[in-house]
Structure 1
Amino acid sequence: MTKPTEGALSAKDGTSSERVQTDAESADSEALSSSKAVSQSDHEDAWSDFWAGARSTLPIMIGILPLGFILGTQGAQHGLSAIGMAIMCAFNFAGGSEFAAVALWSSAPSFIVIVCATWLINCRHIVLGAALTPFMQSAKVSTPRSLLAFFVMCDETWALSMQEVHRRRKAGRPAAELFSFSYHMGVGVTLWTSWFMVAAIGAAVGGSLGDLTRWGFLMAFPATFIGLVAAMRPALSKSGPMAASALVAAGSSLFVLVLRRHPVSPRMQRILDAAPCCVMISIAAPAFMTTNIVTLVTLAATVVVALKTNLAITIVFAVAFNALLQTFF
């Protein structure tokens, strides 16, 4: 038997080496393709969540757009230009404090009075942020993204994000997937751009359309939170913590701030889980503090409708019913 020549052995080794190199290159290529596929899938999921968040604002737009327009017309009546109104609404995305600032603008108080009044009204955002932060931490949202999320967070943005967290929790999602940054931004960016743009349009038009509040649009704000509370309410046997927390909203908010980083008992966890509904109740509650019978009847009817229907129907009903009552009474 003849032995293989040195050249043949060399050629065989070279072929084996080339085969190993080819296999390695093939494995690297497959890994790269798999990584690109995962990245593309994550990108598509992010956009899907973003548009889902944007679509979820449609019922709220029934109230947001008229309120923004009313704010703009009031600003024009007090001497604010369309550009000035757009800048104010873009940098201070909180409708309640903006209405207060416009009202104070006409009485010419000192600048520090306007700043302090605005800050006091916006203090509730500390509570909203404290309630949302644990879910953002579980989702490992980076600091820059967290700051961006808080910038576009108004009452409605927070409420819809918490409703999405509630929905995902009921669906059995893990803690790391309860908060969706993309969904939150879809809600926030849509409401933010719509708000300052429609306020600027209202300021440009001025008061030529008369008093728009007679059409019942101011009812859209409390109706939004009544509808959200009704959708997220726990069973009657578990609603005690929600009712109790609503009566002591400020104290419970501080309690959440201090204890949210510490393990709690199951009973205490139920109280903390009720916090989102408690905060929404505290936001809507001032609307009930009135002697106007039309407003009280509208709000009472809105609560009943919210318990039986969805958010969109609740807001439309509140606006239309209030406008109808104001027409006849």
Structure 2
Amino acid sequence: MLKVVVTRRTEEAAGIVGLELRAADGERLPPFAPGAHIDVMLPNGLVRQYSLVNDCEERDRYEIAVSNVANGRGGSACVHSTLVVGTALEIGMPRNNFPLRSEHARFFFIAGGIGITPILSMIRYCNRHGLNWNLLYLARSRAHAAFLEELSEYGADRVRIHFDAEAGCNFDIGSCSGLIPAGVPIYCCGPAPLMQAVVDFSSRHPENPVFLEWFAPAPENADQPPAEGFEVVLKRSGKAFYVEEDRSILEVLESHGYNIPCSCREGMCRTCETGVVDGVPDHRDYVLSKAEREEGRTMMICVSRARNSTLVLDI
């Protein structure tokens, strides 16, 4: 854990606050790569993940931006109501589930609302290293678009901005075929409906692979098979527990006294990632790559299940 202090607070847009965090001891902070996030231990006891928005070369500070989510679970409300200049916090080391792939020389970014946060760090990295990029930025209105002034300075040939309030409708992702050159990967972050629309677009245009950072779970898939119970065996102790249809592996282990690191409990932060020794996981997370899923060596035990009757975990 790292001890930091809030050294600056700004209003980046309607309902979006920006925070600058510096090490409490004044030292340089650990390095991070574009797309990384940190766990923030909030004063109300909650742990939340926030993307780092600043240039990854800036080791003197971390910058995050947080949207005040209506009817949320208390994290964003706590940030907006209690974090002020001088507030001391503990944060986790930077982690990255949404990295820029080194094999890509050109990028097409799609950001919806507060989804601009990991994308902005990527844009700043691309500019520093002379990489080619374009951005489609979608927001409810100008008032709700964070970092709009900076992004607008890149020009219309680099940045296309769509405001639902001005257009009178949501942006049609299906129309992106004229915007995204063949072979250019899509990096997307935003609300779940936008993310699903981008996934659907990529499935119709496989020459444009998609890489995602989910802030919220996708809508339930009606085609997903119903959950079934299974047995989980812990390799190190040999103990076995039954995981009922309506409980997660994490919940079952916690009920038997196991203290498993976890945070989001929705398969989006990778905190509870656990090694799989034997069995076939039924992956229901949002962070593992296709290759990692196919390998089946790890799983997120907060949401993922088993495709067979017994799963052996490296616990």
Q: Which has the higher contact order (CA 8 A, sep 6+)?
A: 1
TM-score under structure 2 length normalisation: 0.24
Q: Which has the higher strand share?
A: 2
Structure whose CA Rg is larger: 1
